[in-house]
Structure 1
Amino acid sequence: MKVYRPEIDGLRAISVIAVILYHAEFTIAGHTLLQGGYIGVDVFFVISGFLISQILLTEIEATGRVDFLKFYTRRARRILPALFAVVFATMPFAYYLLLPSELLDYANSIGSSLLFGSNIYFYFTAAQYGEPDTLLKPFLHTWSLSVEEQFYIGFPLLLLITRRYLKSRFLPCVLLMAALSFVFCVLTVRYDQQQAFYSPLTRAWELLAGTLLAYYEVRRGRARPRPLLAAVGLVLVLGSLILFRKDTVHPGLFTVIPVIGTCLVLAFASHKHAVGRLLASRPAALTGIVSYSLYLWHYPVFAFARLTSLDFDNGDKLVAVAATAVIAVVSFVVIEKPIRYTRRNRAFWISLGTSVATIMAAVVSAITMAGFPHRLDQVYPSIARTNEDRLESTFLGLNNSIQAGKPVIFIIGDSYARNWSVALKNYIDTDRYEVVALSYLNCMAEIKDDSVKAPSRASIYDKYCIPFEKYINDKSLLSRTKAIFLASHRPFEYTVNPFRFELLSWMKSHSDDAKIFVFGNYFQLDRSHTCLGLMFRTKSDASTCMRLASYPAANQPVEQMPFFPSGLAFNYIDIIKLHCGYDKRGCLTSSGGVPFMTDWGHLTAEFLITLLGDILEKRADDLRGSGLLDFLVLPQAMQAGRTASSQPNGGLTSFASPSP
């Protein structure tokens, strides 16, 4: 007979509180609390593996079979009603607060969650867990539910196969699978941290650690409580939560620490001793009982709270945590608990089927209608969106007809290079120069043996990395290169792609003494908001973004920044200084109905064309000394849609390489 162990619910309480605090990101004196709170999910995995394996192993030992219908009915009662409640409750908020692309992602995440595959969906959509933009995805946290659901599907099959075809070899099989999963995890995290995070293959060893403990208890009975070992286990878990950081390689070797700690607590804690009494205390046990509801509700509550708050400070976070607790308790009492223990199977399956059909209809509708883009018309007219989409789509075709023999201008950079390339080519003298536009977005570029290798971090980036590697190694292009334009996010301080200036030096060494131009950024938002999102939710134009935007390191000379290339001769084009002298009142915020940016920092192509035209027309004298006008043509007329004028404040700086 199964005996309730309140100390396990206490361990669940620690895990869910840690995860909630991690996602809340409380800050004190500039420091984020509990950066290792993500370990709470790993603790959940071990507990789930232990409890599910214990149920199935006990059943198969007693009856020689697994009642799949009974097992999956219990799982459905446990998981789906509360999950469906969250889906239905968030739909209105999603419709009124999420942009079309965000609503499309929301719909896809719900659909993949119902199909037990949201971890796979989020991996292939490149959602880097823990990054600021992922905190706005209401259903990102369902990745862990999908991993557990995949375990619920795979483990009973493993159990039956080993019992039927591999007599008495269940333990060696589990040990082998856990070992292979762990090795695969450690190897994978080195080259693809996203895959290691989301993949069930790299997480299986955590669940199977619980399985091994359950196997021991079913076969030999529960181990005698050992207060010291239970205390060590709790210290390992709490220590991981406190000491792990966002940059800790995870999951990986260090993840063994909380996994072992969880196993020690499960194996040796008892409510008769100190650790067990602490975990089995009424507040801890009750929190653990509602932990599933807490986990389900906290992420969408936080996501929508962030979306509606311009400054999600500690006070807002406390309100969000309190709201999560209240909603979770109500959800548990009204939905989760009654449905979980009801005996009305027919009514349960009818309501479940109706819910699935309704949700899938809403998901298909949102996907078919592309997130209902008509909702944007008030702040971003459809004709302007269509024009911007057309311009941005031209980037991948810019290199389609490169002529031999003509001098070359390279435009390179990260994600910023895409729209900058479209805009710059609009003013480059293409009668005299051939333009090669490349983005190394998520390419792992390395210069080795006088060539550049640039494999992509994920297959979705091959469209950038393959042509980047092809053209950057074309010595015939490099030899006739006259200019290299760099368009990068915060070029002198951005820690990603630190190879950019080494790459410029290497290109210059193979060129016809090419001139290098580094373009500065425009005003940006912090990554907790997007400009179009602010416009949509406040029903205002892009000026609201400009009011909240700032210029990174505006008061710090570029030569004092960490990635300033002191050994490289180049010209820095400070576009804000050239355009409006850092006075927001005189800075453009839109062009032809297109806002200056739709996300948090990438300038739109239409806006860049207007901005560059404005600078070229008004500041030609300032630019002439840099040599930039040797490669560009001045616009013949002012572009329509300008909303402000510029002021003469300089904005171009030349940096020479040191004398030999």
Structure 2
Amino acid sequence: MSGVSTSATARFGYVAGLDGLRLLAVAIVIVAHYRLLPNVPGGFGVSIFFFISGFLISRLLLAEEKTHGRIALGRFYIRRLIRLLPPLLLMGVVAVPLLVWIDPAGFSWSQLLLSFAYLGNVQKIGARLLGWDAGYDALEPLWSLAVEEHFYLLLPPVLLFVRRGTSRIILLAAILSGALALRMAVSWMAPQQADNINYNFTLTRIDAIGWGVFLTLLLDAGVLRVSCFERRAYWLLWGGSAAMIASLVHWADWYEVAFKYTPQSIAIGVAFCGLIFPERTLWARRIAEWPTVRYLGRISYELYLWHFPIYFVVGHFLPAPFPRALLSLVLTAAVSTLAYSVTTQRLGPLRKRYGSHPV
């Protein structure tokens, strides 16, 4: 791996260390869902995913704008569709019939239709507030795909119509402040349902993605400089990591329901800057670039899709907690590898025809 630090300005090209962060994020989710360790919040892993998505997608869009003079909305949406939808549909075609076979009473048409239409977060809110059938826990993680997909729909038009860097930074700052204000308002107006709404609703969770976009904009505008990160590399990496752990502490009910996602996202961003950019932390990026770590991070989307359905099916035949978790991990890795090869890898050339670049 090259020792050259990742460019602060937006450009195409692989960003060393991000596959390792993807693996960390999905590992946190799996550990939480498989109950391998007590008190591990899966939502924290989702927040890391969100931040990475915001950083990468905005970086690619700005690079496209610089290279071609504009952002091609149609080509962007086609690339996202090719990358995200085939693995999701493959999981659904295989997993849903197995779930129905094992637990026919748990089937929910609303969950099936909404979750695979990238409205899984709406399904979760509707199940709690309106009494819709909750459906299978195994499909519950699809709510976060909905939030990401809504972000993919919203961000490119914003960048297309707001062209000045300063205006974009101001707008993102307003969005980040607005999401926090909205969570506080929901907590005040509907305290009994606030946790469910704030955790799942797109506009209350989008700031986790927005902080990643904000970092890209600040770096590209020169407001933040890699030279500053270099001098403070270890403070950023270890201080940000400590702040992430502190953000998981249940300080108070109002903090947990309304405020937590803001300091948590900022802490992720601080640690991110300490890991990805400075030369001093090249050793950490080298760990994140170990071949096995890098590959598992590359198939993290498939791991996320398959881990819970597999855990559910395995539990039907092997209910003992530890053997169930161990077998589920092995099967998840194997099935995700196969799914990645028959969808993402096979469709890679098609994505490149529509302007896909490695990140």
Q: TM-score, normalised by structure 2?
A: 0.81
| Aligned-partner SS, 2:161 | helix
Alignment CA distance shift 1:6-1:235 (3 Å): farther
Secondary structure of 1:269's partner? Answer: helix
Cα displacement (A) at 1:95: 3.2
Partner of 2:303: 294
Deviation at 1:87, TM superposition (A): 0.7
Amino acid at match of 1:146: A
Residue-by-residue CA offset, 1:634-659 (whole Å, 9 max, x unaligned): xxxxxxxxxxxxxxxxxxxxxxxxxx
Residue 229 of structure 2 corresponds to residue 223 of structure 1: no
Question: Residue 157 of structure 1: CA displacement?
Answer: 1.8
What's the counterpart of residue 264 of structure 1? 270
- The verdict on how the C-alpha distance between 1:256 and 1:249 changes in structure 2, with shifts beyond 3 A counting, is same
1:334 is aligned to 2:342: yes
Q: CA deviation at 1:233?
A: 2.3
Q: Counterpart of 2:25 in structure 1: which amino acid?
A: S
- The structure 1 residue matched to 2:195, chosen from 189, 193, 196, is 193
Q: Is residue 69 of structure 1 aligned with residue 77 of structure 2?
A: no
CA-CA distance at 1:177 after TM superposition: 1.1
Taking the TM superposition and a 5 Å limit, the aligned residue runs for 1:167-206 are 168-189=166-187, 191=191, 192-206=194-208
What aligned pairs does 1:536-615 form with structure 2 within 5 A after superposition? none
Counterpart CA distance in 1 for 2:303 and 2:256 is 24
Most deviating of 70-79 and 52-61: 52-61
TM-fit CA distance, 1:312: 4.2
User: Contact (CA 8 Å) 1:8, 1:266: kept in 2 or not?
Assistant: no
State the partner residue of 1:232. 239
* Superposition deviation, residue 18 in structure 1: 0.6
Q: Secondary structure at the match of 2:162?
A: helix
How far apart in 2 are the matches of 1:292 and 1:324?
A: 12
Asked if structure 2 preserves the Cα contact closer than 8 Å seen for 1:189 and 1:249, the reply is no
The aligned counterpart of 2:7 is none
Q: 1:323 to 1:168 in 2, by over 3 A?
A: same
Give the match's secondary structure for 1:6: coil
Unaligned runs of 5+ in 1: 27-31, 347-660
1:123-156 CA-to-partner distances (Å, cap 9, x unmatched) read 111199xxxx979422111100000000111111
Tell me the SS of whatever aligns to 1:66: coil
Could you tell me which residue of structure 2 aligns to residue 10 of structure 1? 20
- Residues 604-635 of structure 1, C-alpha deviations (whole Å, 9 max, x = no match): xxxxxxxxxxxxxxxxxxxxxxxxxxxxxxxx
Q: How does 1:402-441 map to 2 (within 5 A)?
A: none
Distance in 1 between residues matched to 2:257 and 2:81, nearest whole Å: 28
Give the conservation status (yes or no) of the 8 Å contact 1:35–1:244: no
Distance in 2 between the 1:281 and 1:189 partners?
Answer: 43
Deviation at 1:345, TM superposition (A): 6.8
Q: Say which SS state the counterpart of residue 38 (structure 1) adopts.
A: helix
**1:118 partnered with 2:116:** no
Query: CA separation of 1:327/1:239 partners in 2, compared to 1, >3 Å: closer, same or farther?
Result: farther
Give CA deviations for 1:219-264 in whole Å, capped at 9, x if unaligned. Answer: 23862343211232234345656x569x996453233343123212
CA shift in 2, pair 1:124/1:146, >3 Å: same
Question: Structure 1 CA distance, aligned partners of 2:26 and 2:256?
Answer: 18
Quick one: distance in 2 between partners of 1:338 and 1:244?
Answer: 44
- The offset of 1:335, in angstroms, is 2.1
Q: Which amino acid aligns with 1:40?
A: G
Q: Which amino acid aligns with 2:138?
A: P
143-152 or 154-163, larger mean C-alpha shift: 154-163
In terms of fraction of residues, the more helix-rich structure is 2
Distance 1:249 1:311, change over 3 A: farther
> What whole-Å deviation, never above 9, does each CA across 1:37-63 have from its counterpart, x for those lacking one?
320001111111111111112223444
The CA RMSD measured in Å over matched residues stands at 3.0
- Give the direction of change, closer, same or farther, for the CA distance of 1:260–1:86 in structure 2 (3 Å limit): same
Written as runs of structure 1 = structure 2, the 5 A alignment for 1:4-43 is 4-26=14-36, 32-43=37-48
The answer for the alignment partner of 1:323 in structure 2 is: 331
Answering whether residue 58 of structure 2 is matched by residue 48 of structure 1, we say no
CA distance in 2, matches of 1:320, 1:248: 36
Number of equivalences: 329
> Of residues 286, 290, 298 in structure 2, which corresponds to 1:277?
286
Counterpart CA distance in 2 for 1:277 and 1:238 is 23
Distance in 1, Cα, partners of 2:166 & 2:74? 25
Counterpart in the other structure of 2:87? 82
CA contact (8 A) 2:111 2:135 kept: no
- Measured in 2, the distance between the counterparts of 1:167 and 1:344 equals 28
Tell me: CA distance 1:34–1:9, structure 2 relative to 1, closer, same or farther (3 Å): farther
Cα distance between partner residues in 1 of 2:13 and 2:64: 15
Larger RCO (alpha carbons 8 Å, 6+ apart): 2
Q: Which amino acid aligns with 1:269?
A: L
Deviation, structure 1 residue 121 = 1.5
Q: What TM-score, normalized by structure 1, do the two folds share?
A: 0.46
1:186 and 1:321 map into 2 onto residues whose CA distance is 38
Provide structure 2 residue ranges, at least 5 long, that are not aligned to the other structure.
1-10, 355-359
Shift, 1:184, TM fit:
1.3
Which residue type is aligned with residue 270 of structure 2? L
Letter in 2 for 1:264: V
- Alignment of 1:314 with 2:312, yes or no, is no
Give, as a single letter, the amino acid of the residue that structure 2 aligns with 1:223.
V
* 1:108 shift after superposition: 2.6
The structure in which a higher percent of residues are strand is: 1
Q: 1:67 to 1:154 in 2, by over 3 A?
A: same
Map 1:349-388 onto structure 2 (within 5 A): none
Q: CA deviation at 1:341?
A: 3.3
Please tell me whether the aligned partners of residues 165 and 217 of structure 2 are also in contact (alpha carbons under 8 angstroms). no
Matches of 2:349 and 2:246, distance apart in 1: 37
In 2: Cα distance, 1:260 partner to 1:167 partner: 21
Distance 1:4 1:176, change over 3 A: same
| Paired residues of 2:119 and 2:143 also in contact (CA < 8 A) | yes
Q: Cα gap change, 1:277/1:248 in structure 2, threshold over 3 Å: closer, same or farther?
A: farther
Distance, in Å, in 1 between the alignment partners of 2:167 and 2:196 is 33
Displacement of 1:201: 0.8
Alpha-carbon displacement from aligned partner over 1:550-598 (angstroms, at most 9, x marks no partner): xxxxxxxxxxxxxxxxxxxxxxxxxxxxxxxxxxxxxxxxxxxxxxxxx
Distance 2:331 2:17 in 1: 26
Residue range with higher mean Cα deviation, 14-23 or 167-176: 167-176
Percent identity between matched residues is 24
How big is the shift at 1:328? Answer: 0.9
Amino acid corresponding to residue 196 of structure 1 in structure 2: N
Q: What displacement does 1:270 show?
A: 4.0
